[in-house]
Chains A and B, each alone.
Chain A
Amino acid sequence: MGKLTRAQFISLRAEAKALRERQGMQILVCAGTGCVASGSMKVYDYLKTAIEAKGLKVSVELKDEAGKKGLHLKKSGCHGFCEIGPLVAIEPAGILYTHVKVEDCDEIIEKSILSNEVIDRLLYEGKREYMHRDDIPFYKGQHRMVMKDSGRSDAEDIYEYLALGGYAAFEKALFEMEPAAICKEIVDSGLRGRGGGGFPAGRKWESVRRNVSDVKYVVCNGDEGDPGAFMDQGVMEGNPHSIIEGMLIAGIATGASEGYIYVRAEYPLAVKRLKIAMAKAEELGLLGDDIMGSGFSFHLHINRGAGAFVCGEGSALTASIEGKRGMPRVKPPRTVDQGLWAKPTVLNNVETFANVPNIIMNGAAWYRSVGTENSPGTKTFALTGNVVNTGLVEVPMGTTLRKIIFDIGGGIKDGKKFKSVQIGGPSGGCLTEEHLDVPLDFDSLKKLGAIIGSGGLVVMDEDTCMVEVARFFMAFTQNESCGKCVPCREGTKRMLEILERIVKNEGTEEDLYLLEELASTITETALCGLGQSACKPVVSTLKYFRNEYLAHVRDKHCPHCNGRKKKVIIDQTLCRGCGKCKATCPMEAISGDKRSPHFIDNEKCITCGACWGSCPFGAINAIEEG
């Protein structure tokens, strides 16, 4: 094929769309990290061989001639509900089978592929009412924009993306919009950076557009360092072309002709999918020189991280792309003025870019119809921890935590009580029951001392020790501190030492004040966002769960960490019924008549220890419960 022209592109897209509409049955096996780990690729391979053994043609690509009307077997992107995987979807019937094993495949072929039966036992919870994905409670409350096509299309097939309207926004931006108009559309849409800070993306683009420079860059931040978050991974694996398209549009808007995607080292599958997507786009002529004869060129590169959380920070990330140690630098100069190789650079998060094609296609007003006034659009969250349904959730901005945790997430696991949710990872804070009805957006959370951050939501039940949680995050940040500035390098170390001491019940009440003092110093003086937000988990737990710290430093006994609660008993053979204990008990938990053995009501008892000190006969003891 010669060079792709605009006319050819348009007919290519129409052809892909027609092919997709005409195709017969499609079997989509989820090929996200979660389902692969549960064995979905074995299911895929088995299905392929078994169907072919029946003499049926199977096509694995939309363009595949052989299977135009026959069977299509696809590797789909992540559905977000990895826990019930491996997932197999059958379209157009719209059946979603869960927990599919190789042993189930023959039955699926016989019943659901060769005839039109539904296998009830493979449906979610075995119920016919949950046959369609969107009827499952986990999906009901969601509003999917960024993840709309993930799970419904083949992530490795560019024709699928084209068939679903892919690269149309790019074409529109390329031929019908001026760079300034593109920037304006993004400004008007109110799109804010999804990487944590929530900075208006359009303003960033506009600054880079105005900067005069021979070279400019577009950089996509796919470092996703928050341990416990995997939304960006879901998009990179499930819909890689949407990121490429967003970056291309940013390139047109700002006059950049070179792009880099920086992906976390722990995401090999995302790297693979992105590489395939890039190669296919290049092959078609959607990446490269003079794209569709427009004069616009764009070259894309991919960089793998090497295991440093700090590289998610903008200036550290660009240093890492340059092949250096990934250490942040003092700002200004800002990235939009001097970013990669000291050139004007647009740096945005994966999800931010993935939103762009939709905005360009449908307009700013459309985008603003979802979400809140100051935070339009949707946000993906990674819902994990002690919650019934874990997975990727996409909801309009302004949705409450209660809705996410209880309606979509199905509440707390094992019937336990909700205690806290950690939002925004190591740079975020812990919120409590009283915050469950706060609408989640960039501004409301800042006020509460947390951040939306990348979107990690780790739910913790009543058995979790919040001091230990604070220690866990501090250990993470301390380990990831790059060492460039003193407050972060030394401060986090001292904070961690104190927290470790407290967890071991060796701390004092003074330590709590010391923690607060250190936290405020580090927050004010650290060089980059890592240090500036490193203390958020400690500060927020000290604020909302101070009694748990006190249990460690005052009582030297934490009911969560130190195993089972102590139970106080009165030895009936030793007690003479003197009543001293009854008089000292602050909770009025002890009862009994004078001169006859006393009893203790363990429901009321707070194991303060006052009684066993008061007993002249040594009749009172604390034992481990259970």
Chain B
Amino acid sequence: MNSTIDLQKVAAIIDGYGCRREALIAIMQDIQAEYKYLSEETLELIAEKLDISIAKVYSVATFYENFSLEAKGKYIIKVCNGTACHVRKSQPIFDALHDYLGLTGEKKTSADGLFTLETVACLGACSLAPAMTVNDEVFAKMSPESAIDLINVLREKEAGANG
């Protein structure tokens, strides 16, 4: 994973939008798509290149749920907590994953740095509720058991890739 942010690449993304201020959100989305989060240096560089205050960049980055100022795991798991999934019992899936990944309190990323667990309000797969995504791939009709199975598959894949 790209855990260190290549500021040159970031600069290129910003230039790609012609350093237009109204593109701030799109710029941050593209950077985050690449690195999964926005570091302090990234925000500073954006402010400098768009010629706006760092406070402004920070205020936008913190307003929108999707921006993260912290590094994330390789696999970002989002359990849907939209209405349809909620009434078809998505909370037990979240709880099971939370336990299984050994997460506590504020800690959202597993110790091995592989998984980050989040919730999302509706993926538009409501008729296949409960749903979840792993890095934008939608998995439908989940249960706590099938969610844990999925984690194990991904873990094995990682172990295989490294071993």
Contact = CB atoms under 8 A, between A and B. Distances in A.
A33 B63 contact: no
A38 B87 contact: no
The size class of the interface chain A forms with chain B is: 35 or more
B154 interface: no
A324 B50 CA distance: 13
Interface in A304-326: 304-309, 320-326
B153 to A, nearest CB: 15
Contacts of A326: 63-64
Contact of B128 (A83, A233, A322): A83
A422 B67 CA distance: 30
Interface residues of B, number: 38
Interface stretch (B8-16, B78-86, B100-108, B109-117): B78-86
Interface in A70-105: 81-83, 85
A303 B60 contact: no
Contacts, number: 132
Interface stretch (A46-54, A264-272, A289-297): A264-272
B125 A33 contact: yes
A306 B66 contact: yes
A308 B131 CA distance: 20
A242 B41 CA distance: 43
A460 B124 contact: no
B122 A324 contact: no
Contacts of A303: 25-26
Interface stretch (B69-77, B134-142, B143-151, B155-163): B134-142
B121 interface: yes
Interface in B18-52: 21-26, 28-29
B15 to A, nearest CB: 16
A230 B64 contact: no
Contacts of B93: none
B120 interface: yes
Among A266, A270, A391, A469, residue most surrounded by chain B Cβ atoms (within 10 Å): A266
Contact of A306 (B25, B87, B120, B122): B25
B29 A228 contact: no
A382 B123 CA distance: 13
Given A37-B138, A38-B140, A390 B126 contact: yes
A268 B63 contact: no
B2 interface: no
21 contacts: A34-B125, A37-B140, A83-B128, A224-B124, A226-B83, A265-B29, A266-B122, A303-B26, A304-B26, A306-B25, A308-B64, A309-B121, A321-B22, A322-B22, A323-B21, A323-B22, A323-B24, A384-B83, A386-B87, A386-B88, A458-B84
Q: Give the 5 A-B CB pairs with smallest separation, nearest first.
A: A228-B83, A307-B65, A227-B82, A306-B64, A384-B84
